[in-house]
Amino acid sequence: MSSYLITGDSGSGKTSVIWELEKRGYTAYNTDDLPVTRLENELGQPVDWPPPPVDWSKYGWNWQEKDLREILDSDETVFVGALASNQDRFFSWFTKIFVLLVDTETLRHRILSRTDHDFGKDPQELQNILERHAQLQEELLAAPGAMAIDAQRSLDSVVRDIISAIELG
């Protein structure tokens, strides 16, 4: 069947979209919560999470090919929510890539107010995310099959746009 990547910056709404798709009966995974993604050093070896801020020049939040293939190998439509360091290696595995777009103030607010984890709440980590935000959005939108989704709107509107896009093909 088809597989779709929902990506965007930390705080753009990927997890919320995945949870909403699950509620609506779709097969949807946040790969941050699965062993498909792990923190690795420069040699590709798994490492424990360092104290913030994470120096991303020394680490990668990487998908494991075999594990990703397993969750995508389904007779159902599959949604994957992620921002993995190596995800560009796997873009061709997805029918379409939905890029959740938000402005920096929305991003800041969401990161600082989320309750499911603390990534990005360290002042230096937050500054790093915000400084790279515009460039990251451009890079993600350049992916083959990428579609921009205005994620500053209601969750229902965002999910409705994604579902409409896959139904239209």
What gap in Å lies between CA 86 and CA 64, rounded to an integer?
A: 9
- Spatial neighbors of 124 by CB under 8 A, at least 6 apart, are 52, 53
CA quadruple 85, 8, 134, 105: dihedral sign: negative
CA quadruple 144, 147, 152, 156: dihedral sign: negative
DSSP one-letter string for 39-72: EEETTS-B-PPPSSSP-TTTEEEEE-HHHHHHHH
Does the structural domain 3-168 have CATH classification 3.40.50.10800?
no
Round the average pLDDT of the chain to a whole number and report it: 95
Domain map (residue ranges) of the chain: 3-168
- How much is the pTM? 0.94
Cα-based angle 94, 100, 106 (whole degrees, multiple of 5)? 160
Chain segment 67-125, per-residue pLDDT in tens: 999 999 999 999 999 999 999 999 999 999 999 999 999 999 999 999 888 889 999 99
Predicted local distance difference test score (pLDDT) of residue 118: 87
